[in-house]
Structure 1
Amino acid sequence: MPLATKLWTLVGLSNFNESAPTDNFSILWRLVMISEISPFHILQCICLLWRIWKSINKVTFQLYQPHVRALVIQFYNQVLEVSFFAPSSTPKLLLPFPPSATWEPPPDDYLKIYFDAVVHDSGCSSVLVIRGSDGHEMLAAGMRHRGIVNLYTGELPATRDDITIIASRSLTHMIVEGDLGVVVN
Structure 2
Amino acid sequence: MDRTSWIRLWEANIPPKLKVFVWQIFNRILPTTEALREKDVEIHPRCPVCWEGTETMEHLFLDCPVARALWDYAGLEHLGQGLPRHTFPLFLKNLLAVIPQPDLLFAVVAVLWRIWRSRNWVVFEGKQFGFPALMRQYNQQLDEWVRLPTDPIMAMGTPVPAFLNPVPPTAVICMWDGATRHGSHSAGGMVIMTSAREILRVKGVQFQCIDDPLVVEVLALREAIWRCLEQGFSTVLFEGDAKVVIDKINRAENGDSRMGAVLEEIVSYFAFHSGFSVRFVGRSHNRVAHMVARKALSLFPITCRVFDFQAWLNSRM
**The structure with more strand, counted as a fraction of residues:** 1
- Please report the TM-score for the alignment, with normalisation by the length of structure 1: 0.39
**The structure with more helix, counted as a fraction of residues:** 2
